[in-house]
Amino acid sequence: MIPLRQLVYKNLPRSSILRTRAQVLVGSRFQSTVQTSNNEVKVVNEKQPFQGKRKASKFKPVNNKLRDISSQIRASVNSSSNDLTESIEILEEGLSYLREIQQVEGLSDETIFSIFQPILASIIDKSLDPSYNTNRSVNEILDIFISYNVAHAYHFTKAMVHELKSGEDRKVMYENVLHYWVKFIEYSKISNNPYVFKMYRVLRENGFNQHDIKNLAYYAYVQSCLLQDLKYDFKDALKLLQTEELPEIFQIKRSIMSLGLNKSLSKDFQLFEKKLEAFNLESLDPNGSIIINKINNAIIHSDANLLNRVYEQMQDASVKNNKPINENTLIRLMNGYYECQVHSKVFQVFQQMIQNGIEKPSIASWDFVIRSMGHPSYIRGFTKEQRDTTINNIERTVETIIGNDTELTPKTLSIIVGCFANLNRFDKVDEFLNKYSTDGEGSLKVIHTANNNILIGLLLNKRITEAEEKLKELMANGSNYVPSTTAMNSFINHYAKAKNYKAVDGILKFMKQYNIPDEVGTYTIVIDLYFKLHREKGFAPDIQELLSSFKNAGVNGLQINEYTLATLIDGLVKDGTNLAAARVLYDHISKKNKLSPQTMTSMMKGELDYGLIGNAETIFDKYIKAVRNDARIWNLMIKSLLAKHENLALNYYLRFKEQSKLNLKIQPNYYTFYFLLSHFLKKGKTEQVQFLINEMADKTNSELGYELPKILRSLTDKYKFPSNLLHEINKSN
């Protein structure tokens, strides 16, 4: 088959378009390597092609030829009253010429791609408008975009939406949508174009969302299975979508609503929703990769609520498919709760593991239980009686492990030692080391982690002199012990709070001497110390100088990028102790760098929890206007405000709901209602609870998630429920 580009120019000589519009639009701009018979098109630039290396410039003006060609094509598209035929031909001519001269002119792929996106968006939108004529189908127009490597996910999404509104036979309609998806995937792979999802201003204004294309493809796949009576297989869906996690039903519904497809697809969607819930439950492996990916995702985002939902999905799938949840999966889940510092859930998962028939848990499971028992965040605020009870529980747990003929490991011993150290029971530290380690009567080697945990425990309990002596002892005993970064950060943190700046400097030099890696946590402490020093002396801190010094500090230096800046802000606002330093750093970043979403949300959260609500509101407004308007940032605002200013939190909920009338994709979701309902139930505010129940009247079971239906069912005898909501929450009963 002749490639598309050859087909186009076989039937239409390149110079013909130029002759047609030479005086009006094109003139001599699209000079080709093909010589025309009447020499109407003249070479504008007769210089020899540049043979040497081009010097890179940070700021490059738009290439004259690129600017002229794109301007002329834009003018053609904008001036076309109802026929795009000629505009598309001129587009082809211009892109062809630009690709020919690209290397000589030093034009990057990204430059060409970005310049043409507003033009291509206009062409695809107009080509789908019935009032415009063109001799090309949508599929052919996409082929043109693809052949010159300027196609964007937006163009394929628009083609899909057009197909779903076409009124075609439903089977054909969904097959065509899948055809566009496969075409997009093939184009993305072959072209290796990294800009296919990049958000350009014109696309943002047109409501483009990069998730829509995948959501529509998944929807079409499920509908095709239903219409053709084919068995749905989530593994096939994963392969088709080229993803590790399938979209949720509520995400697909949002795409359909925001793209104006809710009317044309309303009946189909009801069936889709009902069937997919059943499919997912039937095909979900409680120990499979989907569950593992969801657990990992929850850990990355420190989202305990997501872990709760995943755990419920695992349990439902286990019962439905008669497939027990294995211990390795439960260990991953316990690790998730441990990382999110929800230690009560670690204990709960372990207890259910025992109840469900795992009579002899592995030592890895026991390790998480013991770690949680002595974690600083769990024992913080414990009374002496509670600490004594915890000590007894740890000892009994160790006895149970040994009684089950499960062998302790050096790692387990280090965890036990760390728990006792955190609880300030160093008599127990000595007792267990003597009983179980090779330093005493036992057989377990004392690993460096155990020594690190002892140091951290001493520092946690303000036994500084002992910690210093212990460090000297460990460094001198011939074991080649080198303390961990976490242990060193604990020393730095103590000395910084005590204003012992000389000791801080000594620790930093010590870390460099022994190649102890520094991390963002180290620099967070140093930043706060830097601010305190300057304030004490009456000087204004020079942030740029400080950040520059970090690049050459420590073992590898700190790479100043969006991630580290966001993490520095996050570390400074944590617990509210360094909020002033965080504000100055945030202000500096906002002037020198483009603020990342992570940096903005970290600073906003810090202001909400420990600072000024007004400052948080300013950041919030800037975020939804300049970064993106998404449900996550609204929910963060609402959740954080509930603890301090519940009326303002409700006001933000109403604003959230109101703006969704203009942007159907961004609206209150189950997180929103879960945060609000949980808060007002805890406060015993029945009026607000009833208000929220009424607000959820039109929500489907899938939109309510996994936790809300349970909570709502427990309230049915105390509150009035809309009939639709009552029906939906009983679906999952």
Interatomic CA distance for residues 251 and 209, integer angstroms: 12
At residue 365, the pLDDT reads 96
Q: What is the 3-state secondary structure (H, E, C) of 400-439?
A: HHHHCCCCCCHHHHHHHHHHHHHCCCHHHHHHHHHHHECC
**pLDDT at 284 exceeding the cut of 50:** yes
CA-CA distance, 586 to 592, in Å (whole number)? 10
Of 580, 644, 630, the residue nearest 601 (C-alpha): 630
Residue 560 φ then ψ, to 5°: -80, 105
The overall average pLDDT reported for the chain is: 83
Does this model's pTM top 0.75? My answer is no
Task: Over range 67-79, report the average pLDDT.
Answer: 90
pLDDT, position 95: 94
Which residues make beta-bridge pairs with 83?
133
Question: Do residues 634 and 616 touch, judged by C-beta distance below 8 A?
Answer: no
pLDDT digits (tens, 9 = 90+) for 629-671: 888 899 999 999 998 899 999 999 999 998 887 776 788 988 8
Compute the CA torsion angle 46, 49, 54, 59 (nearest 10 deg): 40
d(CA 41, CA 22): 8
CA distances (Å), origin 499, targets 1, 98, 467, 520, 524: 77, 63, 18, 21, 15
Q: Where are the alpha helices (DSSP H) in 514-627?
A: 520-537, 543-551, 562-573, 579-592, 597-610, 613-622
- What mean pLDDT do residues 167-173 have? 88
Average pLDDT for 81-108: 90
- DSSP bridge partners of 444: 437
* 22: pLDDT strictly greater than 60: no
91-102: b or e for each residue (b if 16 or more CB lie within 10 Å)?
bbbbbbbbbebb
Helix ranges (H only) for 211-261 are 212-227, 234-241, 249-258
- State how far the Cα of 129 lies from the Cα of 520, in Å rounded to an integer: 53
Across residues 693-709, what is the average pLDDT?
Answer: 84
Dist. CA 562–CA 486, nearest whole Å: 23
Q: Which pLDDT score, from 0 to 100, does residue 592 have?
A: 65
Angstrom distance (rounded) from CA 382 to CA 388: 10
Handedness of CA 492, 494, 497, 499 (dihedral sign): negative
Is residue 4 pLDDT above 90, yes or no? no
In angstroms, the CA 515 to CA 513 distance is 6
209-249: per-residue pLDDT in tens?
899 999 999 999 999 999 998 888 888 998 999 988 888 88
Q: Pick 615 or 541 by higher pLDDT.
A: 615
Q: How far is CA 198 from CA 150, 162, 208, 556, 688, in A?
A: 12, 22, 10, 32, 42
pLDDT digits over 130-156, tens only? 888 888 899 999 999 999 999 999 999
Which residue type sits at 576? G
Sign of CA dihedral 680, 684, 685, 687: positive
Q: Is the dihedral of CA 437, 409, 430, 486 positive or negative?
A: positive
Residue 437 pairs in a beta bridge with 444
Sign of CA dihedral 353, 354, 359, 363: positive
Q: CA Rg, the chain, in Å?
A: 32
pLDDT at position 188, please?
A: 93
Are 587 and 574 a contacting pair, CB within 8 Å?
no
pLDDT band at 297 (very low <50, low <70, confident <90, very high): confident
Spatial separation of the C-alpha atoms in residues 197 and 188, rounded to whole Å: 10
Per-residue model confidence as pLDDT tens digits over 553-597: 554 555 566 666 776 777 777 766 678 888 888 887 777 666 778
Task: Give me 133's structure tokens.
Answer: 């004529």
User: Residue 455: which H helix or E strand, with range?
Assistant: helix 448-460
Q: What angle do CA 408, 412, 417 make, to 5 degrees?
A: 120
DSSP 15-40: HHHHHHTIIIIITTTT--SSPPSS--
Rounded mean pLDDT, 399-423: 95
209-226 residues labelled b (16+ CB within 10 A) or e (exposed): bebbbbbbbbbbbbbbbb
Q: What is the greatest pairwise CA distance in the chain?
A: 102
Separation between Cα atoms, residue 257 and residue 161, nearest integer Å:
11
Residue 10 makes CB contacts below 8 A (sequence gap 6+) with 2
What percent of the chain is modeled with pLDDT above 90? 47
pLDDT digits (tens, 9 = 90+) for 333-354: 999 999 999 999 999 999 999 9
**How far is Cα 180 from Cα 176, in angstroms, rounded to an integer?**
6
DSSP SS3 for 250: helix
Does 513 or 49 have the greater pLDDT score?
513
- Contact yes or no for 270/237 (Cβ under 8 A): no
Domain boundaries, the chain: 1-44+60-149, 152-283
